Structure 1
Amino acid sequence: MKKTLKQLELFLKGSSFDRGIRIGVGITVPFAVLYFLGFFEYAPAVVVGAFLNAPGDIPGSFKRKVNAILVSIGLTMLITAIILFSKPYLPLLLLALGVITFVVSLLSVYGFRASLVSFSGLLAMVIAFAIQKETAQEILVQVALMGVGGLWYLVVSFIFQKLAPIKEQNQLLSDTLLLIGKYLKLRAKLLTQKTKRNERLKQTFVLQHQINEKHETLRESLLTARKRSGRSRYEEKQLLILLSSINIFELIEAKHLDYDMMDDIFGNRKEFLKASQNLNKIMGNHLIRLSELLIQNDKIPDRATLLDALSKTYESISNYIDTVQLPEAREGALVLKNLYDYQEQILEEIRTIRRVMANVQEASKVSLKREDSSQFLTLQEYRLNVLIQNFSLKATMFRHSLRLAIAIVFAYLLGFILDIQNTYWILLTIIVIMRPSYGLTKERSKDRIIGTLIGAAIAVGIVLITQNVVVYAALAIVSLILAFALIQQNYKSAAALITISIIFVYSFINPDAFEVIQYRVIDTVIGSTIAVVANYLLLPSWEVDNLKQVLLNALKMNKSYVLATQKLYQDPSLNQLSYNVARKEAFLAISNLNAAFQRLTQDPKSKQRKFQLIYEIVTLNQTMISAIASIGNFISNHKTTPASIEFNILIKKISNTLQISFDSLEHVQIKKKITEETAEDAQEKLMDKYQQLSNLRDKNIDQGNTELDTETLHALQEAYLIANHMAWLKSLSENLKKATERYRYSIINGSCD
């Protein structure tokens, strides 16, 4: 019960509920004001305008939000006018339907915000069928009032932004810390549990993508605000939390261990990893609690549990050495020490977040270099060239737009021929659930039908209890607010609430509520069926056919990341910024690859060609980026020796192998520059360096010098990590090259036959 109440409190204080209230205010206030002023006949048009332009109001740069809503207002007004003027002429109406659907949905190529503006346009097209205006004057008045409604919603959004300027960013930061906490706990399970390891690795792909998406939105929101007008005290705090969350995410990625090697080293002595596993769990839970405190007003939890878990993790290293004994214990001890160092750094970042949230004075003094923050922003291009590049049957969005246009025209004709009462409900269902991916369309279709049935059942129960129109009106408003608050988190529940709202709104027009419920359910089922069938049969876009470009980008960014790490090793102070930018680009590329793989898993089994091969490629790319991050993180946080010739040779070998994989996919002539013998020799020399240090340490122990000084420890750690991780990276890059070649021959070449 306590947990349920806490979740309810977080929901009511969160930005999602705030957004639902915002839309509720945008809709109800015009109704009330115009009713009392005696101009109620104008209220529906103003309300429709406000409703249609709400989708573009999403977290991010305020300037981009305003621009999106203004574009949305113009687009919805234009589309509404075209449909209303075309209504009397069926051929013209069908042409308008097809062209508008295709062109407007194609605008989604300009990114997520543009896709929401596109959705507003499609929604305006469908709602226009519910508007009964015949003369040119009536149509123009309707369109003008919709424009007023859109501007009114923009004012509402601005007021809410001023009343709670930090709420959206706090919610994003809260969501990010929650996801990172879950990610840490999942990594803990991977550490010692061999069973279900592949299944859990797939779960990490989902979390990585979600975290990267949150970080991208936060960068846009916080860094553009900083560039525009300098940082306020609270914006600086939010930026510090963002930076710490990015550092924690990189540290978790860097701690992606060679689990097969771990199994070999520790064998049946996994109990010595339990302390590290427990520390991950405790830190994960702590981050989840901090995520809640960004929304709630409560005390920050005591740090004693964290420090105690860290202390036990350190003790486990000594226990391992005492049990196994040197020199046999050295390799395992170094693995445990490297693991401890990462966890200690994560804990330090968590403590930074704690200090910021607790308003400790020293927290605000953490220096933020005046780097060019624009380098960390992923800028969306809005040039016509982007649209032209996607104007091809090979482009996913082009195929989706064409498929959606055909489905919409077919659905309208079906409704026209069968004389269906509210054909636009079918159209509405199609535009709401149809996505470029078949799997997502099918999932949303299922959720939509189930949600509609649940909403209809609840509405039936309420209608049987009472026929009070005041109750209907109140329920319509409340359910609409809750629907918009839940639409991102729980689409099924949102669909149920939207159904309840629509049923009670229509009950004012049609007193027979049961008839409204019946039509609503039938039309939803018809629309969902058309959407799923169209996605499967009309220019289907299976993820296996779209994977090439995403994979090419991941290979390219991994290569850039490797080379940036090489430069970092040569001069950390000079190359830290370029390394951070390369890291961000590589993380985004792997995030997109993970997302593509998730979409692949949602396609029908018959369309998942070479699934295991693709999974192998995704896993190899993911492991590579983690191994690179591990080296980069060690260099950034330790005083290291100069980069050796052997290190540079292996870097060149690895980057060339990645380039060969890239060229292989692109059918470019391949040039091999580093011979295998040279790379193997460099690899042996790196391992020899570690072995020499190890032997020297053994001699010191034999002579009675058992105390290990920090300099020797760091030298051993560096030699061990560099030697093993470079060998690991070389092996991963070679395996990736082989897997990529198999992928090209079996999928790309096979699709050309």
Structure 2
Amino acid sequence: MEFKNKLENFIYGEALADGIKTSIAIVIPPIVAGYFGELYTGVTMSLGAVLAHMTDTPGPFKERRNFLWLSVLFIFIISFLTKTINHLEYVLGLFLIVIVFCSNMLAVWGQRASALGMVIMMSMVMNMNDLRDDLSALQIASYITAGAIWYSIFSLAISTFRPYRMAQQNLADTMIHVSEYIRIKASMFDKDSNYDDIIKKLIDEHVIINEKQSLVRELVFSNKRLVKDQTPIGRSIVFIYSDLIDIFENITATQYDYKKIREEYGDTKAMRKIYNMMNKLAHELKMIAYHINSNKKPKSPTFDFEVELKKIDDAIKELYDEGKKPIVLTKIYINIKQVIYKIDFIHKFFYDDSFSEKKKNPLDHAQNFQPTVNYSPYKMRDHFNIKSSIFRHALRATIVMLAGYAITFIVPTSYHSYWILMTTVVILKPGFSVTKKRNYQRLKGTISGGIIGLLIVLFIHDQGIRFTLMLFFMLLAYTFIRQRYSVGTFYLTAYVLIAFSFYSKIDTITIIEERFMDTIIGGFMAFISCYLIFPTWEKNNMNEYIQKALIADYEFIFLVFKRLADNEVSTTDYKIARKDLFIAMANINSVFQRVISEPKDKQKNADELNSFTIFNQSFVSYSVGLVKIIKKNNSVILTSEHIRLITKILQLLLQNINMYGNYKTENLLKTIIFDEHPVTMEEMTTDDLKNDAELIKNLLEYLYEIVSDFSKVGQVFVENNSKDTESKIEEKKITV
């Protein structure tokens, strides 16, 4: 059953849908043109479809439409100009310099603009050949552009007829990763599991979840049809996404010290029951995700969660009967009940059209979550300095591509010499770690795919079977190329080799030799350039990312404390702060992943960054833990001890923010109104009030300890940076 669901999830998923759409758009022009005896014309049109596909990444319809038509315009202009000056070697080299530099600078306007830059570079690179010297520059540019127009119309038409499908698919994908996060978190209740490994896995998974949530947020809140839609499918996507965020918040929340819980209750039945329950919750969410992806209504819950909750409740009561006071396990039990409550809501959305969750409609503050990109030309101007990582990468890419262009005149087997430049364009990324990873993936995929493609061409002579295999490899190439690059490159190489066998005059062995050699040359140049030419190391960006994370921590915890003191906090302000908090945490986690992929001698402050990442994860968990207490009680009673700790936490956080560079902390200074005469713990009238007050105190103490740890890490950063600065000054003195 599990395999069947996974298979269905793949079949109905966005990756395969994109693969099918792209493959159809690429293969139809050669088939139609070939019918009229113009196979080469059809293949040229397919090139345009491939280029247009590069900007067609998941996102809001309006953004996709605008950038697709922009790509069509640039594909025509660049293809025409490149073909026109193809025989003028020096002019072509100068044109390459301008195109590569300007295309890479487009990254200042975001990921989609960066993809447009890639289209512009590839439009030039893939036209730097004389493979169609029988046609004029205008003819070739027109055929390529026609293919791009065909792809754009085809892709946008699918989105128009299925306006919710992309949101559904990405919502399901996000839910699957949240379920995986819950499964990992469940290991906290297994005393034999490695605590440090769990934390690392949670951090890695959180990076992925943040990327998925950001995409779904764009798709949901930027889709005007979805925002205004009152149909069951439209409402369900919006509310399920909102509930999924709440579920993730519940699971992220920590109100206790897990190490201490494992020591005290590791061998108890209650811990085993909680562990089993969380795994079942993860399984249930995954099942719902599979059904959302396949556009089906999920069946009733796989498990009877009321019975499962009763088992946990009974196990906790047994501990009370034994004279223990497992208050933290009771809190965990309540937290799990809230997750089940949300899952129950998600089920009801599928079966009751009139059902309405009793909470504020997420779309009431949709305008606050719509993504905005500043396309001002001044933004480009601000990056024209050597300190900008984008500017440095643009210079690096320009130098490497110019060197690659020169090498194409030297390489003996250079019939497809533009492959060197194409490999360099695809592999060379702004960061060393990403380039290193992409290099390995492409080399691995090219070698293995080349072997398979060669074997098929050499031993399968039936044209029908070979064509069928080519279509199959094409489909899988465009299915995996964005999610699993090495797998996508494997199928892409095999499909390209088989395709060449149909119309190329060169034998397959020569082609694979060329492709392998060009991949080695292009990959080596891209890799070594990141180390030698205007290198950008993550250590140079650490301070900025840490400071942004601390600012997000402050903004969020301030609102939590404000609500804790019974001051008014709007739902919109809270959700914006929560969004910024999770994004900042994911960014700092992502930076650490990149740092440890860099050369050892460049991993400055890596240990301290690792410590900060773990501390920050705990800070967020304990902060959200406070939110859970507020939501359960609506209002709580603060003692003078609570107020003292709150004040110390906020003050110390502000000090930490300024450790990493000058920041106008007065921008963060706001007011919390506390009761003039706070009660003491002894004045609490009921056990529930005392328990909550004690739990709040514990959480505040945990938060203060973590903020103190932030300070210790910050001091090491400052000392190391000072030593580094002093050593550079000494080096300059010696040189002089």
TM-score under structure 2 normalisation? 0.91
Q: CA deviation at 1:87?
A: 2.2
Distance 2:611 2:358 in 1: 45
CA contact (8 A) 2:176 2:285 kept: yes
- The answer on whether the counterparts of 2:420 and 2:521 sit within 8 Å (CA) in structure 1 is yes
1:429 lines up with 2:423 in the alignment: yes
2:640 matches 1:666: no
Query: In 2, are the aligned partners of 1:84 and 1:133 still within 8 Å (CA)?
Result: no
The letter of the residue matching 1:591 is: A
1:542 is matched with: 537
User: Residue by residue, what CA displacement relative to the aligned partner does 1:419-438 show, whole Å, maximum 9, x if unpaired?
Assistant: 44122112111222222222
Alignment partner of 2:53: what SS? coil
Q: CA deviation at 1:473?
A: 3.3
Alpha-carbon distance in structure 2 between the residues aligned to 1:131 and 1:477: 27
Q: Supply the distance in 2 between the matched residues of 1:737 and 1:194 (Cα, whole angstroms).
A: 32
1:381 alignment counterpart: 374
Structure 1 residue 239, shift from structure 2 partner: 0.8
3-state DSSP of counterpart to 1:609: coil
Q: CA deviation at 1:232?
A: 4.3
Residue 707 of structure 1 corresponds to: none
Matched with 2:436 is 442
1:678 paired residue number: none
Tell me if structure 1 keeps the 8 A contact 2:255–2:695. no
1:26 aligned residue: 25
Residue 369 (structure 1) shift:
5.7
What corresponds to 1:576 in structure 2?
571
Secondary structure at the aligned position of 2:635 is classed as coil
Amino acid corresponding to residue 347 of structure 2 in structure 1: R
- 1:217 shift after superposition: 1.0
- Give 1:102-113 correspondences, 5 Å limit: 102-113=101-112
Q: Counterpart of 2:448?
A: 454
Match status 1:520 vs 2:515: yes
Shift of 1:81: 2.9
Contact 2:280 2:303 survives alignment (8 Å): no
User: Partners of 1:612 and 1:35 in 2: how far apart?
Assistant: 60
Distance 2:701 2:34 in 1: 75
C-alpha separation in 2, matches of 1:737 and 1:535: 33
Residue in structure 2 matched with residue 101 of structure 1 by the alignment:
100
Letter in 1 for 2:711: K
Q: Deviations over 1:211-266 (max 9, x none)?
A: 111111111111122478612421211111100110011111113743344356x1
Q: 2:385 aligns with which of 392, 403, 420?
A: 392
How far apart are the structure 2 equivalents of 1:309 and 1:360?
A: 28
Q: Partner residue of 2:290?
A: 292
Q: Which residue identity lines up with residue 431 of structure 1 in the other structure?
A: V
| Partners of 2:630 and 2:636 within 8 A in 1 | no
**C-alpha contact (below 8 Å) 1:568/1:576 kept by paired residues:** no
> Partner letter of residue 334 of structure 2?
D
Aligned-partner residue type, residue 142 of structure 1: I
Q: 1:547 to 1:76 in 2, by over 3 A?
A: farther
Matched AA of 2:214: E
Which stretch shifts more, 567-576 or 657-666? 567-576
Matched, 1:149 2:147: yes
**Counterpart amino acid of 2:519?**
T
CA distance in 2, matches of 1:78, 1:651: 60
User: Where does structure 1 lack aligned partners over 5 or more consecutive residues?
Assistant: 675-681, 697-711
1:584 alignment partner AA: K
Instruction: Work out whether 1:483 is the aligned partner of 2:477.
Output: yes
Other-structure match for 1:744: 718
Q: Is 1:414 matched up with 2:411?
A: no
2:276 maps to which residue?
278
Tell whether the 8 Å contact from 1:104 to 1:121 is kept in structure 2 after alignment.
Answer: yes
Render the CA deviation track for 1:162-209: whole Å, top value 9, x for unaligned: 443332222111111110111011111123447532222122112111
Distance 1:304 1:85 in 2: 67
RMSD: 2.8
The 1-side partners of 2:515 and 2:704 are apart by 59
Shift of 1:557: 0.9
Q: CA deviation at 1:551?
A: 0.9
In structure 2, what is the equivalent of residue 509 of structure 1?
504
Kindly state the Cα deviation for residue 652 of structure 1 after the two structures are TM-superposed.
3.1
Of 496, 502, 505 in structure 1, the residue corresponding to residue 490 of structure 2 is 496
After superposition, where does 1:11-22 map in structure 2 within 5 Å?
11-22=10-21
Equivalences for residues 112-511 of structure 1 within 5 A: 112-130=111-129, 132=131, 138-193=136-191, 196-226=194-224, 230-233=228-231, 234-255=233-254, 257-263=256-262, 266=264, 271-296=269-294, 297=296, 299-300=298-299, 302-323=301-322, 325=323, 329-330=324-325, 333-359=326-352, 361-362=354-355, 368=361, 371-421=364-414, 422-507=416-501, 508-511=503-506
Residues 82 and 96 of structure 1 are in contact (CA less than 8 Å); yes or no, is this contact kept in structure 2?
no
Q: Shift of residue 62 of structure 1?
A: 0.5
Q: Provide the rounded CA distance (Å) in 2 between the counterparts of 1:67 and 1:257.
A: 49
Assess, with a 3 A threshold, how the Cα gap between structure 1 residues 53 and 578 changes in structure 2: closer, same or farther: same
- Opposite residue 60 of structure 2, the aligned amino acid is S
Structure-2 separation of matches of 1:713 and 1:580: 32
Call closer, same or farther: CA 1:713–1:290 in 2, change over 3 Å.
Answer: farther
Specify which structure has the higher proportion of helix.
1
Cα distance per residue 1:586-629 (max 9 Å; x no partner): 11111111111111121122322232211111111221122111
* Residue of structure 2 in register with 1:596 after alignment: 591
Contact preservation (8 Å) 1:390, 1:397: yes
1:729 aligns with 2:700: no
1:222 and 1:235 in contact (8 A); partners too = no
Shift of 1:5: 5.2
| TM-score, length of structure 1 as denominator length | 0.89
Q: Say which is worse superposed, 8-17 or 497-506, in terms of deviation.
A: 8-17
Tell me the equivalent position of 1:65. Answer: 64
Q: Note closer, same or farther for the CA distance 1:652–1:617 as it changes in structure 2 (3 Å cut).
A: same
CA separation of 1:489 and 1:274: change in aligned 2, threshold 3 A: same
Following superposition of structure 1 onto structure 2, how do residues 621-632 of structure 1 map, counting pairs within 5 Å? 621-632=616-627
Provide structure 2 residue ranges, at least 5 long, that are not aligned to the other structure: 729-736
Give yes or no for contact 1:572–1:636 (8 Å, CA) kept in 2.
no
Percent same amino acid at aligned positions?
23
d(CA) in 1 for partners of 2:491 and 2:451? 11
Question: How much does 1:58 deviate?
Answer: 2.1
1:650-689 mapped onto 2 (5 Å cutoff): 650-667=645-662, 689=680
Cα distance change of structure 1 residues 541 and 223 upon mapping to structure 2, 3 Å threshold? same
SS in 2 for 1:300: coil
| 1:635 corresponds to 2:633 | no
1:129 match: secondary structure = coil
Shift of the 142–364 alpha-carbon distance from structure 1 to 2, 3 Å rule, reads farther
TM-superposed deviation, 1:86: 3.1
Q: Is the 8 A contact 2:453 2:495 kept in 1?
A: no
User: What do the CA deviations read for 1:519-546 (whole angstroms, capped 9, x no partner)?
Assistant: 2222222222222111222222221222
- Three-state SS of the structure 1 residue aligned to 2:202 is helix
Measure the CA separation in 2 of the matches of 1:384 and 1:596: 28
Which amino acid in the other structure matches residue 617 of structure 1?
F
Residues of 2 paired with 1:188 and 1:6: CA distance? Answer: 22
Matched residue, 2:734: none
The answer (yes or no) to whether the contact 2:8–2:290 under 8 Å persists in 1 is: no
Range 204-213 or range 533-542, more displaced:
533-542
Residues 636 and 733 of structure 1: CA distance in aligned 2, closer, same or farther (over 3 Å): same
Instruction: Kindly indicate whether the alpha-carbon contact (under 8 Å) linking 1:216 and 1:378 is maintained by their aligned counterparts in 2.
Output: no
Residue in 2 that maps onto 1:704: none
- Where does residue 604 of structure 2 map in the other structure? 609
Aligned AA (2:337): E
Whichever residue aligns with residue 575 of structure 1, its letter is: S
Mapped partners of 1:153, 1:223: distance in 2? 26
Q: Which runs of 4+ in 1 moved over 6 A?
A: 668-671
